[in-house]
Amino acid sequence: MVTRTDPARGGFKRKIRLGEFIRDTLALGPRPAHAIYIAYKQAAQGDLGHDAKRLATRRIKNAITGIRRTKPRERVKISEEEQKQLFEDWKDTYVRGGTSTINGETLTFNPHRIKSKHVISYNGFMHYIYVCRQLGLVEYTGEENPAHVKSDAPTSSTEWYYKHPSKVIRGINLTDPAWQNLWQAYSLR
């Protein structure tokens, strides 16, 4: 289901709309369905959420003030612009964990597991592709992309990928207004 991205009472507000993401990806050429899904998932989950960003900013600021103190209980002031810059500089180290030195300041963070944002399942994504096919927006090219897994020996979790390679799809009508709201177009069909 495509949801509104403008402010609304309650419900979900998605920054990246799936229908438009599929259209924009297929504008670059035919792609395997699984590759489009993985790209969407990474784009939707890529940024820290508001609460996680606020917590990370506070923890980074507290760590920096701790190493800048020369006397116990000395007050160290950090402006908002500097705080934003510190967050951008230390964000990767904060999430990944470990020790880094930036601008002569060395900090150590434990790895922080960021709660990922909910993203549609692969099965739900393939239902989107089905709806796009029914509306005449995409079609299968007849090619299949073999699955790539880390090991050559299939395990119970990777066996399905060996048996079901991803089909390559291409966009047919990328200028159709149905891309804005696939479900409304599908229900009016």
Gap between the Cα atoms of 184 and 176, Å rounded: 13
Three-state DSSP state, 166 = strand
Gap between the Cα atoms of 111 and 94, Å rounded: 7
User: In the structure, what pLDDT confidence band is assigned to residue 52 with cuts at 50, 70 and 90?
Assistant: confident
What Å distances lie between residue 63 and 48, 105, 110, 165, CA to CA? 19, 10, 12, 47
136 and 176 assigned to the same domain: yes
* Residue 67 within a domain: yes
35 and 127 assigned to the same domain: yes
38 and 55 assigned to the same domain: no
Three-state DSSP state, 184 = helix
Q: Do 180 and 1 meet the contact criterion of CB atoms below 8 Å apart? A: no
pLDDT at 138: 92
User: In the structure, what pLDDT confidence band is assigned to residue 134 with cuts at 50, 70 and 90?
Assistant: very high
Segment 28-39 shows an average pLDDT of 87
pLDDT at 130: 92
Please state, rounded to an integer, the average pLDDT across all residues of the chain: 79
* Residue 11 within a domain: no
Residue 66's domain comprises: 50-109
Segment 3-12 shows an average pLDDT of 50
Q: Do 119 and 44 meet the contact criterion of CB atoms below 8 Å apart? A: yes
Whole-structure pTM over 0.85, yes or no? no
Q: Per the structure, how many domains does the chain have?
A: 2
The pair phi, psi for residue 155, each rounded to 5°, is -110, 180
182 and 92 assigned to the same domain: no
